[in-house]
Amino acid sequence: MQPNLQINPQRLWDSLMDTARFGGTEKGGIRRLTLSDEDRQVRDWFRKACEAIGCTVSIDDCGNMFARRPGRNNDLPPIAMGSHLDTQPTGGKFDGVLGVLGALEAMRTLHDLGYETNAPIEIINWTNEEGSRFAPAMLASGVFVGAFSRDFAYSREDRDGKAFEAELERIGYRGAEPVGQRKLGAFFELHIEQGPILEDEAKMIGVVTGVQGVRWYEVTVTGQDAHTGATPMRLRKNALVGAARMIEKIDAIGHHFAPDAVATVGLVEVKPNSRNVVPGEVFFTIDLRHPDDAILDKMEAAMRAALPEVMNPLKLTFEEKRIWSNPAVRFAPELIECVREGARQAGYSMREMVSGAGHDAAYIARVAPTTMIFVPCAGGLSHNEAESTSFDECAAGAQVLLNAVIAHDRTLG
């Protein structure tokens, strides 16, 4: 019979609210960009909390943090659980954070009860999951599995020209351990759904079976700066008009391949961005996603066909490059079953689903059996300062995480 280890919901909630002050915003969200001073503060807090329960904390040379609790047989690769502590510029209190602090709560419970696992257990905080400051997303977990080289990650620059490597050094989290050297026996990631399905169906737990495919692109449109007063409409090369028409086309591609497709332009930079200059250059990003890679190919082809159709008549030139592509991922059936067992044991309703958002688990699945657990968020809202997951929903996620980890660990003994 599975031991009945009960997490402490209040302690979890207090940790979530306490760490929300690192980058906390007036609207109740969090701005904690990766490798910022706020990220350093929450990392310091996390390391102290893990060491306070006897974990040893290691850091690799991409800043990934590993808090380890020994088990009965430390020759076994660890069962890991975790997520990320960095946020979007207008992020919420729960995206990523619930996965790391829910894992901490599970570890605190094991410590309090003196429960000895077969395998060692580790909590992981992955660097730069969001990809907002340094694109692409899931950068450090991607390096961990060999999807990117460490030097590629080090070279990535934010929009102010600051490099990942320099910022990692600056906050003091460039560890000695070579990234990817550490072996994992399994990885469980607790996360808010970031969509409306669980709330809509009044289900508490999402049993996540995989993650949809994602592709990111960068486009630079070039026209000609000109005087807004003295330049006739027929003689202009207005890069912003070209970008605007492409934004419409990309939205139409999303709708064409809906309901499973999504297509978004989220970042636009206009140069010189002056009210009386016809914009001569526009930089924008494209985010395409779908559970089926063959459909993603069609969406990509449609986007690439639209570019010259839009730009040529406007006498504009353009550069487009794909900077990221992660195919659809399927998680490990044996770990998915542990999540189902964990939810049943705790008495929570559940439903299977594929993740719309990307997560570090999408990469870790390449090197270890991996799965995810979702809990609802109000209105499905995320990447928004109003992001909200309740006390009970956070507790449910952490309890199922602990139950699932123990269920898997018992298969090793």
**Interface with Mn ion by CB under 5 A: which residues?**
95-96
* Minimum CB distance to Mn ion smaller for 95 or for 385: 95
* Minimum CB distance to Mn ion smaller for 137 or for 241: 137
- Confirm if 150 and 172 have CB atoms less than 8 A apart: no
The least distance separating Mn ion from the CB of residue 383, rounded to whole angstroms, comes to 6
- Residue 7 binding ligand HGY, by CB under 6 A: no
The least distance separating ligand HGY from the CB of residue 244, rounded to whole angstroms, comes to 24
Binding residues for ligand HGY, total number by CB under 6 A: 6
Give the x-and-dash track for 109-148 against ligand HGY (CB under 6 A). Answer: --------------------xxx-----x-----------
Radius of gyration, CA atoms only, the chain: 22
* 16-50 b/e (C-beta count within 10 Å ≥ 16 → b): beebbebbbbeeebbbbbbbbebbbbbbebbbebb
- Confirm if 23 and 32 have CB atoms less than 8 A apart: yes
- Residue 91 binding ligand HGY, by CB under 6 A: no
Helix, strand, or coil (residue 256): helix
Query: Of all residues in this chain, which one has the CB nearest to ligand HGY in the complex?
Result: 358
Q: How far is CA 63 from the centre of its chain?
A: 16
**From CA 64, how far away is CA 177, in angstroms rounded?**
10
Read off the DSSP letter of residue 91: B
Helix, strand, or coil (residue 234): helix
* Minimum CB distance to ligand HGY smaller for 15 or for 141: 141
The least distance separating ligand HGY from the CB of residue 357, rounded to whole angstroms, comes to 4
- Residue 357 binding ligand HGY, by CB under 6 A: yes
- Residue 208 binding ligand HGY, by CB under 6 A: no
Helix, strand, or coil (residue 16): helix
Residue 135 interacts, among Mn ion, ligand HGY, none and using kind-specific CB cut-offs from 5 to 8 Å, with: none
* Minimum CB distance to Mn ion smaller for 277 or for 381: 381
Residue 311 interacts, among Mn ion, ligand HGY, none and using kind-specific CB cut-offs from 5 to 8 Å, with: none
Residue 305 burial by Cβ neighbours in a 10 Å radius (0-12, 13-18, 19+): exposed
- Confirm if 87 and 23 have CB atoms less than 8 A apart: yes
The least distance separating ligand HGY from the CB of residue 138, rounded to whole angstroms, comes to 6
User: What does the chain come to in residues?
Assistant: 413
Residue 96 interacts, among Mn ion, ligand HGY, none and using kind-specific CB cut-offs from 5 to 8 Å, with: Mn ion
Positions that interact with ligand HGY (CB under 6 A) = 129-131, 137, 357-358
